[in-house]
Amino acid sequence: MAKNRDFSENYLVLKPEDATGFDLVRILSSRDFGKRDFFSSSFDEGELIVGFRQRWILLVSVFLQKILIRLKTPMAAVGNAVELGLNYPPANGGFCRLLFNFFAGRLVRPERSSETFTSIIGNLDKRFDLDLNFQKHHTENKNNNKYASLAIMASKLSYENQAFVQNIVTHHWQMEFLGFYSFWNDYQETNSTHAILFRQRSGGGGGTLIVVAFRGTAPFDADAWRTDIDISWHQFKGVGKIHRGFMKALGMQKSDGWPKELRRRRCREFAYYRIREELKTLISEDEGAKFILTGHSLGGALAVLFAGVLAMHEEAAVLRRLEGVYTFGQPRVGDSHFGDYLKAKMDFYHVNYYRYVYCNDLIPRLPYDDWTFSFKHFGPCLYFNSRYNGQVLEEEPNKNYFSLLHLVPMTLNAFYELLRGFILPWSNGDQYKEGWFMKLFRIMALVAPGLTNHCLSDYVNITRLGRLSLSPSSSIHPRE
């Protein structure tokens, strides 16, 4: 795999599609697997993966990715069926009307491209209206960011289809819809990366605000889940190690990594290059315009990485207009060197970085914070518990998630969250009422604690109900 050396100092690349059953057994039984087809590294054989713990993490990543490769088609089929089923009642005027139309032979089939068709994510939490007070600070402390509520709703909206997004942005939010994009992944050879752009011309303090929201991991999207659990990385000189799966999703080129400009005209569109050019055009048209990057789950990782590649390419004019990066349930993107590099760049250009983590959410605790694979968060964590009380921490509690010590407290917390779903509407209003689909997820979480903590419902709630406590030494790097 010599071509990887052309654009990165060091690398570790997994190709699970090439791993055999014998390879999986060999990972745990021997250190001598460096020359296998599924594993490629710039390090000498056996130099990098030395202990049982490292081999176990490697095995889990390869094994789960192989399963997802096999399940890609059936997962998509199940997801499509569930999504379609959830949209049949509203398309027919409600459940009772649905039954009437069925027996009368007048059943209306929902159109996936219509402005009323909602995703599984949208059915888990049906709120799409902005918090009326989103332009104000949402916590008692003046350092909390006023754009958090807008950012989470944009992240949530990014999961929907183009007609739905355009309708919400234009008619409900009274903002200007700029684009809905499906971008090419050169490695998966499909348009698997999605983002939306819209603009508010006079809000948030008087200037034009452009919002870039990346779509996260959909429940039945096998390719997106593969990206989340891949532990491959590339190391760039002076920058650090960066998660390979996230770079592939953002637009890394197979042959030359991250050229500042694409060396040949490509018929496909890549997320980083297209959005960068869109932003350059938009900010050149408005001297007072600024923009934010946001996303939930995988979308949060892409938002952080987008800022990182802008810094690598020394796009100073664009970075000066970047107000902040707002992520929700974001996985780890790179190692500590990458974190130090990007934090220094953000400080230099006065860019805010807000990383929200709700309670026992699994995804912010992946990939593992391990010395071999080097994945680390950087900057402060805005951590909120199940009562929506927040703290600014260096790292979320139980940072690698899988711990028998935390199993009982997580199970008790899942039971509390189920009960809380009945209490919140009574104490805070109907906008906090959870539907039957979300309640079903809450029940499932009693068996798999933390399962529902990654859903957007709680992330929306913490931007509206959350209270963030800051110690005198805490800082979330607000822009004055």
Q: Locate tokens 């980083």: which residue?
A: 272
Q: Is the distance from CB of 61 to CB of 23 less than 8 angstroms?
A: no
Residue 37: closest CA among 28, 47, 26, 29: 26
Phi, psi of 389 (to 5 degrees): -90, 130
8 Å CB contact between 310 and 250: no
Whether residue 454 lies in the annotated active site: yes
Q: What whole-number distance in Å separates Cα of residue 314 and Cα of residue 333? A: 20
3-state secondary structure of 364: helix
User: Pairing mode, if any, of strands 209-214 and 290-296?
Assistant: parallel
**Are 291 and 212 in contact, with CB atoms under 8 Å apart?**
yes
Neighbouring-strand partners of residue 214 = 195, 295
Helix axes 407-428, 456-465, angle to 10 degrees: 60
- Return d(Cα 198, Cα 294) in angstroms, integer: 12
The residue from 228, 361, 374, 458 that is catalytic is: 361
Say whether 361 is catalytic: yes
Strand pairing partners for 12? 41, 233
Asked if 187 and 46 count as a contact pair (C-beta separation under 8 A), the reply is no
Q: Specify whether the CB–CB gap between 355 and 380 falls below 8 A.
A: yes
- To which residue do tokens 């949060």 refer? 300
Residue 316's CB is within 10 A of a number of other CB atoms, namely 12
CB-based contact 338:242 (threshold 8 Å): yes
Residue burial 76-107, b: 16+ Cβ < 10 Å; e: rest: eeebeeebeebbbebbbeeeeebeebeeeeee
Active-site entry in 41, 119, 149, 297: 297
Q: In angstroms, rounded to a whole number, what is the distance separating the alpha carbons of residues 234 and 213?
A: 25
Residue 212 CA to residue 193 CA, distance in Å, equals 13
Query: How far is it, in rounded angstroms, from Cα 27 to Cα 52?
Result: 9
| 3-class DSSP string for 97-160 | HHHHHHHHCCCCCCCCCCCCCCCHHHHHCCCCCCCCCCCCCCCCCCCCCCCHHHHHHHHHHCCC
Amino acid at 343: K
Residues recorded for the chain: 480
Residue 30 annotated among the catalytic residues of the structure? no
Q: Which of 221, 454, 457, 458 is catalytic?
A: 454
Q: Cα 243 vs. chain centroid, distance in angstroms?
A: 14
* Other residues' Cβ atoms within 10 Å of the Cβ of residue 283: 20
Cite the active site residues: 297, 361, 454
